[in-house]
Structure 1
Amino acid sequence: MTAQAGRDLLLKLDLNGTASFQTVAGLRARRIAFNASLVDITNADSAGHWRELLENAGTRAASLSGSGLFRDQASDAAVRSLFFEGSVRPWRVIVPDFGTLEGPFQVTALEYAGRHDGEVTYELALESAGELGFTAD
C-alpha cells in the first residue's frame, strides 16, 4: 500500500436507517483496531500441554478513534445527539487504498478543543455494536 494522506479517511453516518450515508467528518489522525477474544479449551489431555483454542468461538470487536474537523454544524449536531442518546447507528468508514468498514457503531467518546485563533476540532471514539462488513479496495 502506498502512502496516503490522513485527511482522506472519511466517516459516513446513516442517521435514519435508510442506507443513505452522509459524510459527517474527516479524520486527521486515526486508529482502527480489530480484536477477538479467545475461548481456551486446554485440558489435561491437550497434546504436550499446549494451549488449545476453540475455533470461531470468541467475540470480535472493532474500535475507531480519531480527531479532525466536522464537515458542518449539522454533522456536529448529529454526532453529538448520538452520543447523548447512546444510540447505535450504521456507520461507514472509508480508508482509501485499504477498504470500507461498515456496520453498527456507538459513539463512546466525544471531545472538543480549539484555540482562540483557530478552528474547533474534535476527538471521537466509536465501538462496534454488531456484525461488521469489510470490502477491500
Structure 2
Amino acid sequence: MTAQAGRNLLLKLDQASTGSFQTVAGLRTRRIALNASSVDITNADSAGRWRELLSQAGTRSASLAGSGLFRDQASDAAVRQIFFDGTMCPWQVVIPDFGTLEGLFQVTALEYAGRHDGEVTYEIALESAGEVSFAAD
C-alpha cells in the first residue's frame, strides 16, 4: 500500500436514514479508534495462571475525532441540529484507498473556532451507537 493524502478523508451523513449519504465535511486532522474490551475468564485451573480471555465476548466501539471545514452552510446546520437533538444517525467515514466505516454514531462534541483573518473551522467527536461495518476499497 502506498502513502495516502490525509486530506482526502471524508465524513458523510445520512440524516434521513434512507441509505443516501451526503458529504458534510472534510477532515484536516482526524483520529479513528476501534476498541474491543476483553472478558477475563482466568481461573485456578488456567495453565501457569496465565490470563485467559473469552473469545468474541467483549464490547466493541468506534470513535472518531477530527477537525476541518464544513462543506457548506447546510452541512453545518444539519450536524449542529443532530448534536442539539442528541439523535443517532448513520454516518460513513471514507478512508481513501483503504475503506469505509459505516454505522450509527452520536455527535458527542462539536466545537467551532476561527481567526479574524481566516475561515471558521470545527472540531467534532462521534461515538458509535450500534454495529459498525467496514468495507475495504
Instruction: Give the match for residue 105 of structure 1.
Output: 105
Instruction: Give the match for residue 70 of structure 1.
Output: 70
1:17 equivalent to 2:13? Answer no
For structure 2, list consecutive stretches of 5 or more residues without a partner in the other structure: none
For structure 1, list consecutive stretches of 5 or more residues without a partner in the other structure: none
1:9-54 superposed Cα distances (whole Å, 9 cap, x missing partner): 0011001010010000000111100000110000111111000000
Whole-angstrom CA distance in 1 between matches of 2:123 and 2:60: 24
Instruction: Give the match for residue 135 of structure 1.
Output: 135
Instruction: Give the match for residue 31 of structure 1.
Output: 31
Whole-angstrom CA distance in 1 between matches of 2:46 and 2:32: 35
Instruction: Give the match for residue 121 of structure 1.
Output: 121
AA at the equivalent of 2:36: A
4+ runs of 1 displaced by more than 6 Å?
none
SS at match of 1:81: helix
AA at the equivalent of 1:23: T
TM-score by length of 1: 0.98
Identity over the aligned pairs, expressed in percent? Answer: 80
Whole-angstrom CA distance in 2 between matches of 1:29 and 1:4: 14
TM-score by length of 2: 0.98
Trace 1:38-117 onto structure 2 (pairs within 5 A). Answer: 38-117=38-117
